[in-house]
């Protein structure tokens, strides 16, 4: 197994990436220089007291069913002396919109991206209290930084899975060079700790949009940065939109490919339910609103296709293979287009 790399096995099996993005209300990005331990808060830079406070806060958020993803980030050129950067992304929602529906459910709020708060703290140990204030609606006592940047996180967390180092670390430097060569402003590239999907390395999360990618190369990364080029190339690298549940991500990719780059400017809301209590069949209602406020409602059934299920070893650290189910769009219906 010394020569085994889960990302290579996944590529050879032609495993699709869609439906593998995490669905979180918050991303908490903590600037912390590597090395990072396999278990995030066992890292050398994390003090025992900070670790204890972090676990206490995590349990509190879990009890309230608040989905938070903490991540460590680092970029040597962006590091400011005697300070720790903390970035908190929260789902940005607009006003509710009424739409055609098969039932009398209440209208859901639309969303397109995450909103950002950024702070420069005196020391790493200050992170927990500021995060707690932000997540509970209090005003934190910290230096806030006004920032409209786009933050792209690339997993380089080799101690968690060696594919993240083998493929993620070189791509991190390639991504830095790509942004520089294209002379793109307000885009920051970060090394990032593990966020799942190491067998799709190199992997990335694009914030504030919240879209996840894998198996990246410089060509498709340029398209992601500039939103130009062949939209169909997304089929091979798109893991899904983190604003949506995994079944809804499958439908959203289909719509993205149909609408093209303009889809990135649409706002969406979504409802998902199991069909007749069957966990392998999901009924989706996804609403999208264009910038000029036209509204489309898509209804679809997402099912598990047993004929496309594959079996592979999901991680470099695993010894046994697992079944990887494949979700597909069984049927989809577009309701009439309305304007608010």
Mean pLDDT of all residues in the chain?
89
**279-296 pLDDT tens trace:** 788 999 999 999 998 899
The residues facing 113 across adjacent strands are 92
Peptide bond just before 208 cis, omega within 30 deg = yes
Lowest-confidence range among 101-105, 128-132, 324-328?
Answer: 101-105
Place of tokens 């942004």: 179
- For the chain, domain boundaries: 6-245
Lowest-confidence range among 287-291, 303-307, 336-340?
Answer: 336-340
pLDDT value of position 99: 41
Mean pLDDT value of segment 169-179: 98
The sign of the CA dihedral 126, 128, 129, 133 is positive
**260-278 pLDDT tens trace:** 999 999 999 998 877 666 7
- Closest among 80, 75, 92, 227 to 152, alpha carbons compared: 75
Structural tokens at position 60 = 């509190």
Res. 22: pLDDT tops 70: yes
In whole angstroms, give the CA distance from residue 73 to residue 77. Answer: 12
pTM: 0.92
Mean pLDDT value of segment 155-180: 95
In whole angstroms, give the CA distance from residue 244 to residue 98. Answer: 19
Contact 207, 71 (CB under 8 A): no
**306-330 pLDDT tens trace:** 888 899 988 888 878 989 989 999 8
In whole angstroms, give the CA distance from residue 26 to residue 150. Answer: 16
Distances (CA, A) of 142 to 32, 34, 80, 134, 329: 18, 24, 16, 11, 46
Q: What is the CATH number of domain 6-245?
A: 3.40.30.10
Contact 285, 97 (CB under 8 A): no
Distances (CA, A) of 184 to 175, 177, 205, 312: 12, 11, 18, 39
């Amino acid at each position: 197994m010394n020569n085994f790399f889960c990302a290579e096995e996944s590529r050879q099996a032609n495993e699709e990436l869609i439906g593998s993005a995490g669905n979180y209300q918050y991303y908490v990005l903590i600037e912390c220089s590597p090395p990072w331990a396999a278990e995030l808060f066992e890292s050398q830079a994390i003090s025992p007291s900070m670790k204890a406070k972090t676990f206490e806060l995590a349990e509190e958020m879990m009890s309230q069913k608040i989905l938070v993803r903490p991540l460590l980030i680092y970029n040597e050129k962006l590091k400011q002396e005697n300070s720790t950067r903390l970035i908190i992304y929260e789902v940005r929602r607009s006003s509710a919109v009424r739409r055609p529906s098969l039932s009398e459910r209440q209208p859901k709020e639309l969303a397109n991206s995450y909103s950002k708060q950024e702070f420069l703290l005196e020391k790493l140990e200050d992170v927990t209290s500021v995060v707690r204030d932000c997540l509970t609606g209090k005003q934190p006592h910290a230096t806030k930084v006004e920032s409209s940047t786009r933050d792209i996180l690339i997993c380089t967390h080799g101690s968690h899975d060696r594919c993240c180092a083998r493929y993620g670390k070189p791509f991190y430097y390639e991504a830095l060079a790509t942004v520089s060569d294209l002379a793109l402003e307000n885009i920051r590239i970060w090394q990032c700790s593990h966020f799942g999907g190491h067998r799709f390395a190199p992997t990335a999360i694009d914030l504030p949009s919240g879209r996840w990618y894998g198996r990246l190369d410089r060509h498709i990364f340029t398209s992601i940065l500039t939103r130009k080029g062949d939209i169909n190339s997304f089929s091979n690298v798109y893991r899904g939109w983190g604003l949506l549940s995994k079944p809804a991500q499958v439908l959203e990719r289909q719509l993205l490919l149909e609408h093209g780059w303009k889809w990135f400017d649409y706002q969406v809301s979504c409802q998902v339910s199991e069909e007749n209590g069957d966990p392998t069949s999901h009924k989706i209602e996804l609403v999208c609103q264009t910038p000029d406020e036209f509204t489309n409602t898509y209804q679809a059934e997402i099912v598990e296709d047993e004929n496309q299920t594959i079996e592979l070893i999901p991680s470099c650290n695993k010894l046994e293979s697992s079944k990887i189910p494949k979700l597909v769009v069984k049927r989809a219906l577009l309701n009439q287009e309305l304007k608010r």
